[in-house]
Structure 1
Amino acid sequence: MMVMKKSSSSFFSSRRVLWFGWKLVIALSVSLCLMALIRLRQYSQPETSSSSSYRLSRSRSRIHSPHLEDSAKIAFLFLARRDLPLDFLWGDFFENADAAHFSIYIHSEPGFVFDDSTTRSSFFYNRQLTNTIKVSWGEASMIQAERLLLDAALEDPANQRFVLLSDSCVPLYNFTYVYSYLMSSSSKSFVDSFHDKKEGRYNPKMSNVIPRNKWRKGSQWFTLTKRHAEVVVDDDVVFPAFKKFCRRRPAVDPSKGKENIKLQKQHNCIPDEHYLPTLFAMSELELELERRTVTYTQWNESASGMETKSWHPVTFGYTNVGPEQIKRIQDIKQIYYETELRTELCIINSTSVPCFLFARKFSRAAAMRLLSEGVTGPFDPTRLLSSSLH
């Protein structure tokens, strides 16, 4: 009888050990599964937007080689309709520069080549991009062209500043001054950015991607640091939203008759005036910006308060770019933003500086006068002669 009790006790004890072992295995398995699901969720869950904070994905990886300060370049990015009508002035500008301190990239119409038959300056030979697109004002293609320029310039690790210029832009100083100014700006980019509560270009249909409080307006003519140039090129969130929801309203076409009434009800938006400042607001990078452009534009104020065809930048001619007019632009040391009641002081390293390094829009005659007066460097009269040959 005693033997049977001992055997029974031993049997139940074994069952308890076996049951405890199974419970331990099950618990460990469940824990491992939960950990695996958590890790999988972390890696696979897409990033979502929020009205207070939005970080854009940085999909591309680039090799960042350490660079010496004296080898850093400024990438001059020319956004041209076809050729560069003021190439003789820019040729003089680059002639008086250290070739190791700059690079040139041009987005022109597809198929256009810069060579001795299309430009007066050898600095522009074969500087056109190979993957250009047809650009239309008021369309997202303008933004895409800017992104293509930045993408090409980022291929050169020495490029540390990226300046966007139009085919009617002129320099207001020589290269040495421009280089010193931009390289002294530390890690900040120059991007015109402000709130404009009066304009109605924000499209509510983009609110699931771009909240209204992140909507900004500003000049498209930027100067970016390398880090900020990469943000623009790597953007795969804001740009698609602009392509879909930010488009210029078609102009009135008399041949379309009553159809114009329907067309004029379409939402009106000018992508290049909103994309960059909105992108940096979305990226929480506004504190890293000098919220101003370094390119001066004088607007036709006859259309103040209206958004019509007459609201365009003034084109400077020969008679209104004399020394006094140029000095007036060079003496501007602050910019007032009426919509924000904000005065932007132009300061670099605690020192007051001129706000503008470049200006637009300049005619060929106006550019010739700047050249003759030695704005970009010592005057060489043969350059004026060569400019009249084409």
Structure 2
Amino acid sequence: MKAVPPTRPRTSPPIPRVWVLAVAGFIFIALGYAYLHPPQHYTSPMRVWLPAEPDRELTDEERASRVVFRQILTAPPLMSRRSKPKIAFMFLTPGTLPFEKLWEKFFEGHEGKYTIYVHASREKPEHVSPLFIGRDVHSEKVVWGTISMVDAERRLLANALGDIDNQHFVLLSDSCVPLHNFDYIYNYLMGSNLSFIDSFYDPGPHGNFRYSKNMLPEVTEADFRKGSQWFSVKRQHALLTIADSLYYTKFKLYCKPGMEDGRNCYADEHYIPTLFHMMDPNGIANWSVTHVDWSEGKWHPKAYRAKDVSYELLKNITSVDMSYHVTSDSKKVVTENPCLWNGMKRPCYLFARKFYPESINNLMNLFSNHTRYRNR
């Protein structure tokens, strides 16, 4: 019998099993981290949303709230019956809207893609545009700086959510005007994977000095945030806002003018920014799409008279593509961030305030030419 030839030696030594396991483990960890910590502007339909758990045992009320929020944010989106869903334009005003004719020009030719809601808190408005007739909602008195501002916002959201076709919700004031044409704003809002809620940390007297320890344990000082009340939110976030009772009650009781130690807390500046910082921080843009100029350093923002309204003014506002936040303490720390729309740098602002009623003619004359130039 012939002897069996010896086996040829391998050209390279075998990879030790321990290295195979190590590499496989590293890949598993990397994939897991990417899944749990995606980029800020990435939204995965497969991801299970879960708010950060505090380092303590949750109260019964907190646990119940988080279950409700999780169900809202992880549920499949309620689809519109229309091929083109609608944006709800919600006007919070003391009475008559001075820019109805401008808004009528803005909405012209886009029937079926928007819905209008008007909350007039002092007197019944007199409408000059047929688009606004019959769009008033039941309103209650609103006092500046009190929880009644938040109540009005929630009332508008509740009315607008009743229409299944409304998929995005914009809060506007009586002094707001559009900066772009309807198609640009519609595509900007409906195409975004975020809600535009302003939320930032301010350690100064107009920020965390307003915090009350009575909000503990549910709201800590580290979670307390400040931001503009003029939001633009997706349907899930609108539902979350009106579903909340726990955190709303904390702000109703402990964020108001005339608190202890001479503190004046304004719920409309803190409640929604804090709520979404705590519950869905990666779902918000951290800036508002409504421009307002606080550069004068006064209690109220700069207001534009007729003489101030020019093509250059509108062009300058619509050219801004960075969001700015300044702390109210002595350090005046400035934070700049690019306005990212689905990861791409875009102009920040779709609307602007505060414009005096006397500026209506200038705005009407400028609107068509300006928006045609800006939205080509």
TM-score, length of structure 2 as denominator length:
0.75
Q: Distance in 2 between matches of 1:160 and 1:366?
A: 32
The residue that corresponds to 1:218 in the other structure is 227
Say if 1:196 and 1:205 are closer, same or farther in 2 by CA, change over 3 A: same
SS in 2 for 1:100: coil
The residue that corresponds to 2:51 in the other structure is none
The residue that corresponds to 1:84 in the other structure is 97
The residue that corresponds to 1:122 in the other structure is 130
SS in 2 for 1:71: coil
Q: Structure 1: state its 5+ residue gaps.
A: 1-44, 250-262, 304-309, 380-390
Q: How does 1:139-288 map to 2 (within 5 A)?
A: 139-186=146-193, 188-199=194-205, 200-249=209-258, 265-283=261-279, 285-288=280-283
Question: Is 1:137 paired with 2:144?
Answer: yes
Question: Is 1:100 paired with 2:107?
Answer: no
| 2:80–2:167 contact (8 Å) kept in structure 1 | no
How far apart are residue 65 of structure 1 and its match?
4.2
Q: Distance in 1 between matches of 2:313 and 2:224?
A: 35
Q: Which has the larger radius of gyration?
A: 1
How far apart are residue 161 of structure 1 and its match?
0.6
How far apart are residue 300 of structure 1 and its match?
5.1
Q: Distance in 1 between matches of 2:67 and 2:146?
A: 23
| 2:61–2:246 contact (8 Å) kept in structure 1 | no
Q: Distance in 2 between matches of 1:56 and 1:134?
A: 33
Deviations 1:116-142 (A, max 9, x none): xx1110111011112x21000010000
Q: Structure 2: state its 5+ residue gaps.
A: 1-57, 328-332
SS in 1 for 2:367: coil
| 2:179–2:371 contact (8 Å) kept in structure 1 | no
| 1:216–1:274 contact (8 Å) kept in structure 2 | yes
Q: Distance in 1 between matches of 2:106 and 2:172?
A: 14
Q: Distance in 2 between matches of 1:177 and 1:170?
A: 14
How far apart are residue 88 of structure 1 and its match?
1.4
Q: Distance in 1 between matches of 2:362 and 2:244?
A: 41
The residue that corresponds to 1:356 in the other structure is 349
Instruction: Tell me the C-alpha RMSD between the 2 structures.
Output: 2.7
How far apart are residue 151 of structure 1 and its match?
0.6
Q: Distance in 2 between matches of 1:67 and 1:119?
A: 29
TM-score, length of structure 1 as denominator length:
0.72
Amino acid in the other structure paired with 2:204? K
| 2:86–2:112 contact (8 Å) kept in structure 1 | yes
Q: Aligned pairs, how many?
A: 304
Q: Distance in 1 between matches of 2:158 and 2:318?
A: 31
Q: Distance in 1 between matches of 2:277 and 2:70?
A: 19
| 2:102–2:364 contact (8 Å) kept in structure 1 | yes
How far apart are residue 67 of structure 1 and its match?
2.9
Say if 1:60 and 1:137 are closer, same or farther in 2 by CA, change over 3 A: farther
SS in 2 for 1:78: strand
Aligned residues: percent identity?
A: 37
Amino acid in the other structure paired with 1:74? I
